[in-house]
Homo-oligomer: A and B are copies of this chain.
Amino acid sequence: MEGRITVAVDANGADLGPAEVAAGAAIAARRGTRVLLFGPAEEIGAVPDGVEVVDAPVSIAKSADAAMAARRTPEASIVQAARAVASGDADALVSGGSTGTALAAGLFNIRRATGVHRPALAMPMPIPGAPSLLLDVGANAEVRAENLVQFAFMGAAFSRVVLGIECPRVALLSNGTERSKGTPLILEAHEDLIARTAGATDLEFIGNIEGTDVTSGTADVVVMDGFTGNVTLKVIEGSFANALQAIREVAESSPRSRAGGWLLRPGLRGLREQLDPETFGGAYMLGLRRLGVVTHGRFTRRGFARAIEVAERGVREDVIARTHAALEAAGALRSPPSGDASSVAGP
């Protein structure tokens, strides 16, 4: 895709408030992205250059029932942002609010790509020396085997197109590496993936991996249901935070250790930055007709700017069309829908 790209951003729901999201939008705008910012104009304040603010004070980011709220609140900022993407006024969606409402607004307005059962949230994990893409990290708490199979192909396509891995190694996360290990769901997806990837040259299905291998670089794409994915993502986050904290405490435990900690500090700073979730900008919503990026609510302006940047890059790389083509080539799309209003053909 050429020319200037427009990203619709929901400013509601971020922990630091709409002004922080606007500050992130301003950074992205200075880098050349056009941003449509949906949120409370009053709280956003002065409009940064390159950013167009659409006054949308209603927020559904904290709704208990995201699907209901997204259906019944057309004036909500996230719904307006999603509609701007659906209508073509913007090319991609960035949400700073709750994952649930962003997904619901995306599903109802941007809609699923033809033949996709369920969209997934794909998260490139900033694991030192072993980056990998996890999906689904939270869009679908419960799935069927066919969903996992689609996630595998969507993840592999994304890994090729955006992360530049020619033949990604794709794995299922399970409670054992053997083909016979896992829930009935995993077993079914495993067999189906073996059948569908036989002879494939653009991805390699390496079977099951265990939790220890999520951070070991064994797989480029790790497939799981959204409940397990959410837990996995957050356990990794928590474990790294705990490990860094434990090392900080070691480095304060004696004069010798304090000296060691001081000498290591510049090196550790790089590591901390590498581990920072803001560096990756968030999780990609795959399987809709256009791209969405869901950030972490506690992001600062830096993270929002990064999220807008990765959304822009995804549009430029045509990630949606290329992911869809990969699903099609693998025969992993479902048969044409009959009267299913929430899944419509792409433009």
A window 260-280: CB within 8 A of B: 260-268, 270-271
Chain B residues, Cβ within 8 Å of A303: none
Binary B-proximity of A213-244 (CB < 8 A = 1, otherwise 0): 11110000000001110111111111111111
Of the residues B142, B227, B237, B246, contact of A128 by C-beta under 8 Å: B246
A173 contacts B by Cβ under 8 Å: yes
- When A214-B235, A230-B175 are in contact, do A127 and B254 touch as well, CB less than 8 Å? no
Taking the nearest CB of chain B, how far is it from the CB of A110, in angstroms? 23
What separation, in Å, do the CA atoms of A254 and B263 have in the docked complex? 10
A249 CB-CB contact with B under 8 Å: yes
Q: Give A100's nearest chain B residue, CB to CB.
A: B176
Residues of B within 8 A of A130 (CB): 242
In the complex, whether A87 has a CB less than 8 A from a CB of chain B is: no
Q: Which residue of B lies closest to A230 (CB)?
A: B175
A123 to B298, CA, bound (A): 32
Q: Which of A157-206 contact B (CB under 8 A)?
A: 173-176, 178, 180, 182-184
- Asked whether any CB of chain B lies closer than 8 Å to the CB of A342, the reply is no
Take A178-B64, A227-B183, A237-B212 as given contacts and tell me if A256 and B266 are in contact as well, using a CB distance cutoff of 8 Å. yes
Q: Which of A64, A130, A211, A237 has the largest number of chain B CB atoms within 10 A?
A: A211
Contact partner of A239 among B184, B243, B270, CB < 8 A? Answer: B243
Whole-angstrom distance between the alpha carbons of A268 and B251 in the complex? 9
Report if A231-B228 is in contact (Cβ < 8 Å); known contacts: A250-B268, A256-B263: yes
Say if the beta carbon of A129 comes within 8 Å of chain B: yes
Is the beta-carbon distance between A247 and B268 smaller than 8 angstroms?
Answer: yes
Q: Does any Cβ of B come within 8 Å of A335's Cβ?
A: no
Set B128, B210, B271: member contacting A234, Cβ < 8 A? B210
Is A345 an interface residue, CB under 8 A from the partner?
no
Distance, CA A227 to CA B229, complexed state (A): 12
Known A-B contacts A228-B228, A267-B250, A271-B246; the reply to A238 vs B260 at CB < 8 A is: no
Complex alpha-carbon distance, A253 and B264, angstroms: 10
Cα A232 to Cα B210 with chains together (Å): 10
Q: Does A259 sit at the interface, judged by CB under 8 A?
A: yes
A174, A212, A237, A238 interface centre (most CB from chain B within 10 Å): A238
Q: Does A141 contact B (CB under 8 A)?
A: yes
Contact between A231 and B173, CB atoms less than 8 A apart: yes
- What are the 3 closest A-B residue pairs judged by CB atoms, nearest first? A211-B234, A260-B263, A239-B239
User: Can you give 24 contacting A-B residue pairs, CB < 8 Å?
Assistant: A129-B245, A138-B175, A141-B175, A142-B184, A173-B231, A182-B227, A210-B230, A211-B231, A211-B234, A212-B238, A213-B238, A214-B234, A215-B239, A216-B238, A216-B242, A228-B228, A232-B235, A240-B243, A247-B247, A254-B267, A260-B261, A260-B262, A260-B264, A261-B264
